[in-house]
Amino acid sequence: MDDIYDLINNYILSAAVLSWITAQVIKTILTLITTKRFEFERLVGAGGMPSAHSALVCSMTFAVARKEGFGSPLFALSLMFAAIVMYDAMGVRRAAGEQAKVINKIVVSIRRPEDKHEEEIECISKKRFRKDKNKFIKIDDMQFKKLKEYLGHTPLEVLGGALLGIIMALIIPMR
């Protein structure tokens, strides 16, 4: 029972989790304001303003600094972890999101080609189907699941999350 009490009262963990929750709620509210509709995906999903990942790792890092000191090995470890997470959010995850946008557009254009490209796509498709019928399936028969496009963050979204995390670590009382 003491372990559960310790877990619930862990300042560093509380700061990190509350920062993540706050970022997700802010993200959902901003989406609601800009699109005029509630999107549950924004409440739990990645991407958007502010970065919940950045809020979590920066809050954790700053909470470690407050509790253990800037000279502690735990702070150094936490700082490097935060840097990797934020770099990944702006780099690899953002690139994956951009690629998902392109792939989604390609799938839509194949499924519903614009008038000027319809004949060209149809001609290319027929040539492909004739080469090997077992390797290609008619586009109309395929079921495409739209790829998630909100995966990464812009530098501003990462900065917003980082600032939110630091503020949360400051306002949550240390235990």
d(CA 100, CA 94): 10
Local confidence pLDDT in tens for the 175 residues of the chain: 788 888 889 999 999 999 999 999 999 999 899 889 888 888 888 778 899 999 999 999 999 999 999 999 999 999 999 999 998 888 776 777 777 778 777 777 776 545 445 444 444 444 444 444 433 323 555 556 666 666 677 889 999 999 999 999 999 988 7
Q: pLDDT value at position 125?
A: 47
Answer whether 0.75 is exceeded by the pTM. no
| Burial zone of 102 (CB within 10 Å; 0-12 exposed, 13-18 middle, 19+ buried) | exposed
Looking at residue 44, its pLDDT comes to 86
Q: Which residue has the tokens 């862990």?
A: 10
Q: How far apart, in whole angstroms, are the C-alpha atoms of residue 129 and residue 139?
A: 11
Model pLDDT, residue 104? 74
> What is the pLDDT, as a whole number, of residue 127?
46
For the chain, give me the number of helices (H) and strands (E)?
8, 0
Q: What share of the chain is helix, strand, coil (3-state, %, to 5)?
A: 75, 0, 25
In the structure encoding, which two tokens stand for residue 94, read together?
């953002």
Q: How do the domains of the chain map onto residue ranges?
A: 1-86+154-175, 92-151
Using CB atoms within 10 A of its CB, is residue 27 exposed (0-12), middle (13-18) or buried (19+)? Answer: buried
CA-angle at 101, arms to 111 and 160, nearest 5°:
155
pLDDT in the model for residue 142: 57
